[in-house]
């Protein structure tokens, strides 16, 4: 089994300060208009923080009341992906991370040649008094794809300590999928879809959840890794099911938080099983990862007094083959049968 250990030092000061100093907010009762550079968290575009937090440039509008209807709309023409930290044309951000293989099994070639000038985002949501929360998101990536994401969350029980959630995602190709040359396209399938469910129970200062994800076998579901974390309930750190089709995943998670006078302690652990297509089946496996079981855990310490803004986290993970025997080492190295640990030191202000 491969073993790796790393010390990761995150310095999020520069990009955050740049974003704040170049952002203008205008508030009108229940309306907010944000112009400039900023970080926003949405299901598929969000501020995943390593090594840089994804930042956006453009216009963002929010409407929100205390209860009931809420809406958002945005026009983004530049993205500073977490891999570069530089504000770039939307198309140029795609491929800054791993590019995988095309549907023919050869290395993808869309890096730096994907044509896309903007992302348009819209959200409609409604929070019912009984604990039901509905949200509909639409992401239109110019000349690449349109992604519809819907989610329903329901809090139940006398203490509202049970949480039931469901999500559905559907993608369709827009324009020429990023490039008019088939060999250089990022989005090659006509459509892709997936859905998931989760049940979560709050127990004192802890929570336990069981989640399920299914991606259909009708096309690769593509969510640019440069734009943030995946929205799937089965998501675990250092795992992705984006780029695959015909996926079934389940995950059991536990998290706990202790908020003391001088410090805060966050802990989590998760066990997931990802049933993926044969890594040699290129049309269904962009990143050629075999079926695996993934176990990880973390403990994070954040002081509140003299070192406020600093945090230290120990993260460990192990991933193991959970399907047929794989003999091709290219499908195993950094993909399966490894143990990994990080000591992550962060300072944010």
63 band by pLDDT with thresholds 50, 70 and 90 = very high
146 band by pLDDT with thresholds 50, 70 and 90 = very high
Q: What are phi and psi of 99, to 5 degrees?
A: -110, -15
In angstroms, the CA 316 to CA 341 distance is 4
Domain range list for the chain: 2-347
Residue 115 makes CB contacts below 8 A (sequence gap 6+) with 91, 143, 176, 178, 179
Q: What is the pLDDT of residues 302-330, one digit of tens each?
A: 998 888 889 999 999 999 999 888 889 99
In angstroms, the CA 345 to CA 205 distance is 25
Q: What is the pLDDT of residues 178-212, one digit of tens each?
A: 999 999 999 999 999 999 999 999 999 999 999 99
pLDDT value at position 4? 66
- What pTM does this model have? 0.92
2 pLDDT above the threshold of 80: no
pLDDT value at position 18? 46
Q: Which helix (H) or strand (E) holds 33?
A: strand 31-38
82 band by pLDDT with thresholds 50, 70 and 90 = confident
Single out the residue of 144, 134, 25 nearest to residue 71, CA to CA. Answer: 134
pLDDT value at position 15? 46
Sign of CA dihedral 90, 92, 98, 100: positive
Single out the residue of 210, 230, 214 nearest to residue 272, CA to CA. Answer: 210
pLDDT value at position 332? 92
223 pLDDT above the threshold of 60: yes
Assigned CATH for 2-347: 2.40.160.10
3-class SS shares of the chain: helix, strand, coil, % to 5: 5, 50, 40
């Amino acid at each position: 089994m491969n073993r790796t250990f790393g010390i990761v030092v995150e310095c999020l000061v520069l990009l955050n300060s740049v974003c704040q100093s170049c952002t203008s907010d205008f508030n009108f009762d229940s309306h907010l208009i944000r112009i400039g550079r900023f970080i926003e968290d949405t299901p598929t575009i969000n501020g995943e923080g390593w090594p840089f937090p994804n930042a956006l440039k453009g216009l963002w509008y929010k409407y929100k009341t205390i209860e009931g209807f809420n809406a958002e709309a945005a026009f983004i023409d530049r993205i500073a992906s977490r891999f570069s930290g530089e504000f770039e044309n939307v198309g140029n951000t795609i491929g800054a991370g791993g590019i995988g293989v095309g549907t023919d099994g050869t290395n993808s070639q869309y890096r730096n040649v994907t044509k896309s000038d903007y992302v348009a985002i819209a959200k409609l949501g409604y929070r019912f008094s009984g604990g039901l929360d509905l949200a509909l998101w639409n992401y239109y990536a110019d000349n690449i794809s349109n992604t519809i994401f819907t989610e329903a969350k329901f809090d139940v029980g006398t203490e509202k300590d049970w949480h039931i959630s469901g999500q559905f995602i559907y993608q369709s190709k827009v324009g020429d999928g990023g490039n008019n040359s088939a060999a250089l396209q990022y989005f090659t399938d006509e459509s892709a879809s997936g859905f998931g469910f989760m049940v979560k129970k709050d127990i004192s200062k802890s929570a336990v959840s069981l989640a399920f994800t299914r991606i259909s076998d009708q096309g690769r579901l593509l969510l640019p890794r440069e734009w943030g974390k995946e929205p799937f309930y089965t998501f675990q750190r250092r795992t992705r099911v984006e780029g695959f089709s015909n996926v079934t995943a389940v995950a059991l998670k536990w998290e706990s938080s202790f908020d003391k006078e001088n410090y805060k302690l966050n802990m989590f652990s998760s066990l997931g099983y990802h049933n993926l297509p044969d890594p040699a089946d290129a049309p269904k496996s962009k990143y050629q990862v075999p079926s695996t079981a993934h176990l990880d855990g973390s403990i994070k310490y954040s002081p509140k007094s003299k070192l406020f803004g600093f945090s230290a986290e120990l993260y460990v993970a192990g991933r193991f083959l959970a399907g047929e025997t794989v003999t091709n080492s290219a499908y195993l190295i950094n993909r399966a049968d490894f143990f990994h640990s990080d000591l992550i030191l962060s300072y944010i202000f």
